[in-house]
Structure 1
Amino acid sequence: MNNSMISSSVSMHGLQQKLDMLANNIANVNTTGYKRKEASFQDVLTNVKQQPRSFEKEGRLSPLGYNQGWGSRLVQAQLTMEQGSLQATENPLDTAIEGNGLYEVNTFVRDANNNLIRQQAWTRNGSFELTPSEDPASLFLTTKDGHYVVGADDQPVQVPVNHKFKIQTDGKILAYDDADKTAPPFEIGQIKMVRVIRPQLLQQLGDNLFALPTGVANPQNILQTIDETNNTVDPITIRQGFLEQSNVTLSDEMTELIQVQRAFQLNSRAVTSSDTMMGIANNLRNG
């Protein structure tokens, strides 16, 4: 196998991964709170190919030798936490985060013994619902997929029945009694939010959920819990009655998709040309 075939085949593998990433971004252009991914590439290997001494002619200024590459590979698929546009819904159960933050939710997975265990996860999707609980006087605040929204006390957020509620910008929830309009509102909890420090270390679980890497030593270096002391600079707030759209710009993704397809096509032609030349060399016969 010659050098051009090696370089092209290696590059095609990275470009295929980039195509899959672009397709995923385009497919989630209408997903609430979706964050697009960007790919980073680097050279696999670059060395200097030496030229014969006969190439050194009088008047030549450049030294002998030329750089020879061996293709490029996908280094990292980084999450882009840019703010998406906010869409007003007038639904009190819809919320949107402004800033570089995530909601914390509880999911349930099965272990090796088929037992349900609670697992922490995070999401940007603020389309919530009210789900019945064991206590008939309260309801759980959950996501559309049934995951419990976690409060600042690390417990699922509960809302009393027959009450309207208002979510303040800092996540505090105030309840209003429907039966007694003159009763003052009272605080029933606060939605827990985290600031994303290193988005490239988050793992995607599907369903627009994120998790921490397994066995991470210092999770606070990836996600930082928001409180009154650390939310003054670059604040993270909640907007009730709004939903955040994805930060995918369809025109940009389509433009990049065309560029990657052209690069993939060029490398595939290089592989075809290399194969043709090797076939010609193998079929040479002495006259």
Structure 2
Amino acid sequence: MRSSFLAATTMGQLQKKLDLIGHNLANSNTTGYKTRTANFSSLLHQQINQNGIDGESPRLTPEGIRQGTGAKLGHTNVRMDAGTITQTDRPLDVALSEDYHFFQVQVTENGEAETQYTRAGNFYLQPINNNQQVALVTSEGNPVVGENGPVVLQSDMDDISIQDNGNIVVRRGEQQAVEASLEIMQIDRPRSLETVGGNRYRFPDNVPEADMTAVVPNATLHPGALESSNVDMGEELTNMMEMQRAYQMNSKSISIGDQMSGLINQLR
């Protein structure tokens, strides 16, 4: 039955939307996470003829009707509006103050280094070169990029902090000095980014990165703070209930169609 095929197709796409909602809810406490949204679009429509015997129409309707073959998940978007700033007072935590600003991260895959972008500012120090130096890294261990490349410091420090202008201040004994500075990038069209996991983003290969990015010369940051995710729990739970009701309705349609087929088969 056409109704069963239509319902089964739609149920598969509704499950993808439910998976997306579940992903948002699971990351509601992830630093800098951005909500994923999805839109549905109709699949192809087919014309069903209504002609009766000898070409005569059995009812006063047009020659054919157009019936869709279900719905599909059209495309997924990332909502880039800023989340709430939460104070942590941790020296290596820093939050961005503008919507279109991003930290740069160097990710090495298959021996090739690639610059990616993130809004998560929970940074750590990772020992390198036989503990002689430390690198500023993300929670996944990827180096954070500064004005002169990945941020690498000598390990014999007594204290470290990040200032509101992105400067990294290191104290050794009684001496304090700015030994590195974060390079903040502005991306004019953040919707052109694609997600790569780990709360990171990159430009697709067919998008000219140089035309979309620019270095922010006087970026203002929030030291000792983190940007919370922009997941709206109420909205996500409401969307989940709507998708569950739609899934149940399509499932019921298949069940009713099966019952109708059973009744027809019992006719003698």
Above 0.5 in TM-score?
Answer: yes
Residue 167 of structure 1: aligned partner: 163
Contact 1:19 1:260 in 2 (8 A): yes
What SS does the corresponding residue of 1:247 show, helix, strand or coil?
coil
Contact 2:91 2:162 in 1 (8 A): yes
Q: How do residues 244-283 of structure 1 correspond to structure 2 at under 5 angstroms?
A: 244-283=227-266
CA 1:270–1:27: 2 relative to 1, 3 Å: same
Equivalent in 186, 193, 197 of residue 195 of structure 1: 186
Are positions 1:23 and 2:22 aligned together? yes
Are positions 1:140 and 2:135 aligned together? yes
Q: CA deviation at 1:147?
A: 1.1
Structure 1 CA distance, aligned partners of 2:125 and 2:143?
Answer: 10
CA 1:276–1:138: 2 relative to 1, 3 Å: same
CA 1:149–1:77: 2 relative to 1, 3 Å: same
Residue 129 of structure 1: aligned partner: 124
Structure 2 CA distance, aligned partners of 1:262 and 1:220?
Answer: 45
Residue 42 of structure 2: aligned partner: 43
What SS does the corresponding residue of 1:105 show, helix, strand or coil?
strand
What SS does the corresponding residue of 1:30 show, helix, strand or coil?
coil
Are positions 1:227 and 2:216 aligned together? yes
Residue 150 of structure 2: aligned partner: 156
Structure 2 CA distance, aligned partners of 1:256 and 1:217?
Answer: 32
Q: CA deviation at 1:216?
A: 2.7
Q: CA deviation at 1:34?
A: 0.8
Partner amino acid for 2:74?
V
Q: Deviations 1:147-184 (Å, cap 9, x if unpaired)?
A: 1100123x111345235434234x3x152545336xxx
Contact 1:95 1:243 in 2 (8 A): yes
Aligned residue pairs total 260
Q: Deviations 1:192-236 (Å, cap 9, x if unpaired)?
A: 2333444444333322222333x3351235x513233xx8xxxx6
Structure 2 CA distance, aligned partners of 1:207 and 1:140?
Answer: 19
Structure 1 spans left out of the alignment, 5+ residues: 58-62
CA 1:49–1:167: 2 relative to 1, 3 Å: same
Q: CA deviation at 1:105?
A: 1.0
Contact 1:158 1:188 in 2 (8 A): no
Contact 2:186 2:216 in 1 (8 A): no
Q: How do residues 49-60 of structure 1 correspond to structure 2 at under 5 angstroms?
A: 49=48, 51=50, 53=57, 55-56=59-60
Q: Deviations 1:115-151 (Å, cap 9, x if unpaired)?
A: x443332222110112223386753211122111001
What SS does the corresponding residue of 2:135 show, helix, strand or coil?
strand
What SS does the corresponding residue of 1:55 show, helix, strand or coil?
coil
Equivalent in 208, 228, 238 of residue 218 of structure 1: 208
Partner amino acid for 2:164?
Q
Q: TM-score if structure 2 supplies the norm length? A: 0.84
Structure 2 spans left out of the alignment, 5+ residues: 52-56
Residue 105 of structure 1: aligned partner: 105
Contact 2:187 2:214 in 1 (8 A): no
Q: Deviations 1:79-123 (Å, cap 9, x if unpaired)?
A: 1111111100111200111222321112233x3xxxx44333222
Partner amino acid for 1:219?
E
Structure 1 CA distance, aligned partners of 2:263 and 2:210?
Answer: 60
Contact 1:164 1:178 in 2 (8 A): no
Structure 2 CA distance, aligned partners of 1:123 and 1:187?
Answer: 24
Contact 2:100 2:190 in 1 (8 A): no
Alignment RMSD: 2.7
